[in-house]
Amino acid sequence: MSKNFRTLDDVDVKGKRVLLRVDLNVPMENGRVTDATRLERVAPTIAEISGKGGKVILLAHFGRPKGRDAKDSLKPVATALGHVVKKPVAFAADCIGATAANAVAAMKDGDILCLENTRFHKEEEKNDPAFVSELAKLGDIWVNDAFSAAHRAHASTEGLGHKLPAYAGRTMQAELDALAKALEAPAKPVIAIIGGAKVSTKIDLLENLVRKVDALVIGGGMANTFLHAQGIGVGKSLAEKDLAATALRIIEKAKAANCAIILPVDAVVAYHFQANAPSHAYGIDAIPADGMILDVGPQSIARIHSAIDDAATLVWNGPLGAFEMAPFDRGTMVSARHAAARTKAKKLISVAGGGDTVAALNQAGVADDFSYVSTAGGAFLEWMEGKPLPGVEVLKQR
Number of H helices, E strands in the chain: 15, 17
CA–CA separation, 296 and 120 (whole Å): 46
Which CB atom, from 153 or from 238, has the smaller least distance to ligand AMP?
238
Catalytic residue among 249, 378, 387, 396: 378
Residue 291 binds ligand AMP, judged by CB under 6 A = no
Catalytic residue among 16, 21, 38, 330: 38
Other CB atoms within 10 A of residue 289 CB:
8
- Binding test (CB under 6 A) with ligand AMP, winner from 11, 20, 259, 294: 294
The residue range among 42-50, 321-329, 334-342, 362-370 that interacts with ligand AMP, by the rule CB under 6 A, is 321-329
The residue range among 2-10, 114-122, 140-148, 319-327 that interacts with ligand AMP, by the rule CB under 6 A, is 319-327
Residue 353 binds ligand AMP, judged by CB under 6 A = no
303 as an active site residue: the answer is no
CA–CA separation, 316 and 350 (whole Å): 8
For the segment 33-92, give every residue that binds ligand AMP (CB under 6 A): none
Catalytic residue among 82, 110, 233, 355: 355
Which CB atom, from 293 or from 395, has the smaller least distance to ligand AMP?
293
Which CB atom, from 139 or from 196, has the smaller least distance to ligand AMP?
196
Strands 28-29 and 32-33: antiparallel
CA–CA separation, 317 and 355 (whole Å): 9
Beta bridge partners of 9: none
CA–CA separation, 392 and 113 (whole Å): 24
Return the amino acid letter for 12: D
In the complex, the smallest distance separating the C-beta of residue 329 from ligand AMP, rounded to whole angstroms, is 9
Calculated CA dihedral for residues 4, 62, 123, 158, nearest 10 degrees = 0
355 as an active site residue: the answer is yes
Query: How many residues belong to the site for ligand AMP (CB under 6 A)?
Result: 17
In the complex, the smallest distance separating the C-beta of residue 332 from ligand AMP, rounded to whole angstroms, is 8
Which CB atom, from 213 or from 234, has the smaller least distance to ligand AMP?
234
Q: DSSP letters of 382-397?
A: HHHTTPPPHHHHTTB-
In degrees, rounded to 5, the angle at the alpha carbon of residue 389 between the alpha carbons of residues 383 and 392 is 115
38 as an active site residue: the answer is yes
Residue 214 binds ligand AMP, judged by CB under 6 A = no
Rounded-to-5 percentages of helix, strand, coil across the chain? 45, 20, 40
CA–CA separation, 253 and 346 (whole Å): 32
Catalytic residue among 198, 249, 253, 396: 198
Single out the residue of 80, 66, 76 nearest to residue 30, CA to CA.
Answer: 76
CA–CA separation, 36 and 149 (whole Å): 17
CA–CA separation, 165 and 155 (whole Å): 15
- Binding test (CB under 6 A) with ligand AMP, winner from 11, 104, 322, 392: 322
378 as an active site residue: the answer is yes
- Binding test (CB under 6 A) with ligand AMP, winner from 93, 238, 277, 281: 238
Residue 164-203 contact track with ligand AMP, rule CB under 6 A, x = bound: -------------------------------xxxx--x--
- Binding test (CB under 6 A) with ligand AMP, winner from 116, 356, 369, 382: 356
Single out the residue of 302, 298, 296 nearest to residue 319, CA to CA.
Answer: 296
Residues recognised as catalytic: 38, 198, 355, 378
Q: Which residues bind ligand AMP (CB under 6 A)?
A: 195-198, 201, 220-221, 238, 293-294, 318-319, 321-324, 356
